Chain A
């Protein structure tokens, strides 16, 4: 598992995953916090919950996220 609760992340690119919705395009470049990581099987395909600064909380595929700090 890459992402842990409380880590700061950036939406650094669009995802090609089916769960990526058009409105999420506007979130690319935003920063946020992992609030609920994949809680079960450490699946790289799992959606993780991210709270974005000023843009609410959403579940994102992991391929659009990168850590801001360790």
Chain B
């Protein structure tokens, strides 16, 4: 790596080095230095406001006044950087650009950038590849406190952006995380980082779902006294009450939430906000900030006759919650589930496991419009769940004691607007009755806002979710923050975790009068792990593994976990498929140099372009590459590397060995002069020049000595 030129990057590096060296012994000075580093990070990433400059300088003065021996020196570093390069700091803020490119050099990999929680995926995959599972979990928990949960149920946006997917298939990021978490927990190596000393400030978190727990975790690490108020008797929120146990065992939730208790987070269970604990009473109890993460638990109604009067129509969220809390009775022999999302699939598969003989999902559109995760749909079909597409329920018919059935209409899809959106249109006269013992409605949920009625100045969106600034998760009420499904509507676990983490940072800044960022956070690189050496043929031929599943009979009858996880050897191999995009930025300079300057064109890397990926084959490099090293010399990040090892010259890209050739040495002095291919390339380029020396191989110096014998002075007359 070349030297940093940008004063912002230099200052960040110097402060980080000082913090990491442990030379700041006084906790207060270390905290101030970390705050300066974080605000500088905002500037480096173009997410700062002008207020950041003043705030950093104020913090530097505060740091200079602490009793730490090293503090004045660090404060001087900041002062002199701002005195000498003030306009560059302002330029970063106004242009959100770094002229030297140094700040961009820290660019996170696409997978990390995509993760709503900003987890440093390449770093933890590399650690898992080396068998360092506990270290991988520590890296993940810097950004997400629930690696095990996410390793089982994350919707894995990272895999959709995985660059490896442009070559063949994305890396199996989610299951690798799950494996490492399970292994670390099993070996007793899943530990909390040390929290900062208590700072005497109290924060109330309303709701113990993934957003609330994440916010609580990161605030507790900062030294805040956090209390989580939860209306249920245990922590987990939708993780516990909405996701069936065959996808996410309760033990996983309990073990990971228990980590918060050991960190000092207090829980008040069976406590309803607005009833048992109100905003006013909590303020009187010295809570200085509030984080609302109450989720979206109120089901939408179908709006059809008989729905609210029949005891045989139940809501999917209520059904799943009851089963999660221990109810184990079959809802009926024949069950109809209305909806096409993941909740409908979960309800149907749960009913099957409780003993229902026939479970059918009724959906108004076709299979291709189903919004549920395709893997979940496929697993449901394997288990015997039926589907009735293009079917619109129009009424529930109740008999004396049992349900007579669900009256439905067949539908056809028509274009409903100029953008091609297809809408189901009922077909007149197509009424028919579907027999059922019970109907489960799974058409979505909304936020249950009653508990927040006393927060009269809290603004709501037209979607009936809490309005927030999505950068800081601040609501319209000062000191009140919100995230999770209460803000987004029913969304993903990892979004809730990311929102909780963002809110924790914003609450910290709010309570310390620090300026808030103006742009969304850029994820933080947590390390630069050395690349594992993998031959190109191995890199290209390892296939993404299939997930082993529980046998079908058990899937249909028990709540045992369906996905069994990979074997250890599979995990270690799969990690090798990672392209290490945290190091290779895919700038294309290596390809350009090789093709345009050298005229060799040995690099077949078609994965650089998101929109139009073309063929990639790392193996083909060896056919043409002359090992000149021009690609490595021009690589801005050190991803492309050429080095002499023993008697060979090896070219590698992030550890993938693209080419290796035996070295040619000077026949006179023994100095390395390149490879055969390189020598032939040079000879071809200089082919017109007279060959003064025969086919013998000499280095430049020895060649000059040899040719001197034929110089004009000594040539015979």
Contact = CB atoms under 8 A, between A and B. Distances in A.
B611 A23 contact: no
A29 B262 CA distance: 46
A12 B449 CA distance: 34
Interface string A41-68: 1101111010101111111000000001
B371 A37 contact: yes
A22 to B, nearest CB: 9
A47 B371 CA distance: 13
B470 interface: yes
A5 B160 contact: yes
A1 B444 CA distance: 15
A43 to B, nearest CB: 8
Contacts of B469: 21
B114 A57 contact: yes
Contacts of B421: 1-2, 44
A56 B118 CA distance: 9
Contact of B443 (A31, A41, A55): A41
Contacts, number: 110
Contact of A49 (B340, B343, B463, B495): B495
Interface stretch (B245-253, B485-493, B568-576, B671-679): B485-493
Contacts of A2: 419-421
Interface string B341-371: 1110000000000000000000001001101
Contact of A56 (B107, B372, B461, B520): B520
Contact of B611 (A8, A39, A54, A56): A8
B444 A41 contact: yes
Contacts of B445: 40
B371 A40 contact: yes
Q: Is the interface of A mostly helix, strand, loop or mixed?
A: loop
B443 A57 contact: no
Interface string B367-382: 0110111100000000
Contacts of B443: 40-41
B518 A36 contact: no
A55 B157 CA distance: 13
A47 B300 CA distance: 17
A15 interface: no
A56 B114 contact: yes
Interface in B404-452: 417, 419-422, 443-445
Nearest to A44: B421
Contacts of A55: 113
A4 B421 CA distance: 12
Nearest to B416: A44
Candidate in B461, B463, B488 with the most chain A CB atoms within 10 angstroms:
B463
Given A6-B160, A23-B518, A31-B610, A46 B489 contact: yes
Given A1-B365, A59-B488, A59-B491, A36 B343 contact: no
Contact of B157 (A42, A46, A51, A54): A51
B101 to A, nearest CB: 14
Nearest to B108: A54
A40 B157 contact: no
Candidate in A41, A46, A57 with the most chain B CB atoms within 10 angstroms:
A57
A22 B510 CA distance: 21
Interface in B601-620: 610-611
B157 A35 contact: yes
A54 to B, nearest CB: 6
Nearest to A23: B519
A54 B522 CA distance: 10
Interface string B279-318: 0000000000000000000001000000000000000000
A62 B417 CA distance: 13
Given A53-B110, A58-B520, A35 B611 contact: no
Q: Is the interface of B mostly helix, strand, loop or mixed?
A: loop
A33 interface: yes
Given A2-B420, A23-B518, A33-B160, A54 B495 contact: no
Given A1-B421, A37-B371, A42-B369, A56 B113 contact: yes
Contacts of B519: 23
Interface string B506-522: 00000000000011101
Contacts of A40: 300, 339, 341, 343, 371, 443-445, 490
Contacts of B422: 1
Contacts of B369: 1, 42
A36 B520 contact: no
B610 A23 contact: no
A68 B613 CA distance: 14
A59 B488 CA distance: 8
A36 B491 contact: yes
B338 to A, nearest CB: 11
Candidate in A33, A37, A45 with the most chain B CB atoms within 10 angstroms:
A33
Nearest to B469: A21
B492 A49 contact: yes
B185 interface: no
A8 B422 CA distance: 19
B491 A53 contact: no
Given A5-B160, A5-B373, A57 B518 contact: no
Interface in B473-491: 488-491
Contacts of A56: 113-114, 116, 520, 522-523
Candidate in A6, A33, A51 with the most chain B CB atoms within 10 angstroms:
A51
B155 A35 contact: yes
Candidate in A5, A53, A54 with the most chain B CB atoms within 10 angstroms:
A54
A54 B365 contact: no
B692 to A, nearest CB: 53
Given A2-B419, A23-B520, A31-B610, A49 B157 contact: yes
A13 interface: no
A42 B114 contact: no
A31 B461 CA distance: 27
A45 B421 CA distance: 12
A39 B495 contact: no
A9 to B, nearest CB: 11
A17 B183 CA distance: 45
A68 B114 CA distance: 19
Given A18-B462, A39-B444, 5 more contacts: A2-B421, A21-B470, A23-B519, A41-B443, A47-B489
14 contacts: A2-B419, A23-B518, A23-B520, A35-B157, A39-B343, A39-B490, A40-B339, A40-B444, A41-B443, A46-B489, A53-B110, A56-B522, A57-B114, A59-B488
